[in-house]
Amino acid sequence: MSRSQFDPASYAAQLAEKKARLVELLAPFDAPQPQVFESPREHYRLRAEFRLWREDGKRHYAMFETGDKRTPIFFDDFPIASAQINALMPRLKSAWQMSSALSFKLFQVEFLTTLSGDALITLCYHRPLDAAWQAAAEQLASELQVSLIGRSKGKRIVIGRDFVEEKLQVAGRTFSYRQPEGAFTQPNGEVNQKMLGWAYEVLGERADDLLELYCGNGNFTLPLASRVRKVLATEISKSSVNAALANLADNGVDNVALVRLSAEELTEALNEVRPFRRLAGIDLKSYDFGSVFVDPPRAGMDPDTCELTRRFERILYISCNPETLAANIAQLSDTHQVTRCALFDQFPYTHHMESGVLLERR
């Protein structure tokens, strides 16, 4: 999103357009009207990435209009980013302006913050990082009270931790999350809490088991595990699997088995097409799956995975692309109907939207 798109006065109209678009896409399936979960108008984005542009001997935070990588737009604040990122930006800039060890060949800065106040800054360089850089970076991390990571070709130096800790409230309970640098996390923390609360409420209290595909760092896994007997969760990213395992342990969640399989591989395993060593010790036949939870990438579920979900009485689907969501529902609509629907405005001032549906067997 460019700075020119940021217009809090137009927020309500933009959100109404998104709702109308979602309603239109789901109209062929007789979906109910969606619940709409708004975003804060500003300071909602917990992570941000900026290029740096050198001019008049100094480096500046820079952005570019779409299609133009030659005309930088300089700025010192970013109103959609968290208040914490905005507070750190000028202090970081002042530090690199006063230190050649920090500024030399610095080309990119990444911020990762949380609602609970944790922060991590990544500095990216077109040069090797030496002892002078590390000494300056350690002093900077102490002054800013953040963790800090330096990246250069083939090297990564961590000062503090390589993750932030988030705490989210769901149904009166606090869940803690490790969010690693470089791994996917929901950028809009306030809306993420609303998504978790909606999914928790819609799934309901169940006496059977849950299959979760694309579980990431366990964002949904933690609260949903408290609603079912046990969970089998899958994720292909190694860093996300490691974060999810840490999050399960940190929160004392002991009814989840997590396996590093893609959705396509799990489909093969459940269909007994071939065995997987990564499933050793897990008795798939011991599960009494009543519900499946999916949060797929923008491409949606592939046809085989979509067919797999048809087996379940309830399909709880979180989507970052309403077009592929509609395509998946079309494949399932002869056996399942949409009984709940929601719009989560993760990305204000853009056309992107997050949505959720509950499909139940007809």
Residue 356 to residues 199, 286, 317: CA-CA distances in angstroms? 8, 29, 6
Please report, as a single letter, which amino acid is at residue 361: R
Q: Is residue 189 within 8 Å of 114, Cβ to Cβ? A: yes
Question: Which string of DSSP letters, residue by residue, matches 97-126?
Answer: HH-HHHHTTEEEEEEEE-TTS-EEEEEEES
Take residue 146 and report the two structure tokens written for it.
């953040």
Annotated active-site residue in 42, 181, 265, 354: 354
Q: Is residue 350 within 8 Å of 1, Cβ to Cβ? A: yes
Is there a catalytic annotation at residue 124?
A: no
Please report, as a single letter, which amino acid is at residue 80: I
- Strand 354-361 with 256-259, pairing: unpaired
Is there a catalytic annotation at residue 55?
A: no
What's the rounded Cα separation, in Å, for the pair 110 and 244?
22
Scanning the structure block, which residue is given the tokens 């678009």?
21
**DSSP 8-state symbol, 179:** E
Annotated active-site residue in 215, 306, 320, 341: 320
Instruction: Return the H-helix or E-strand segment holding 42.
Output: none
Active-site positions read: 320, 354
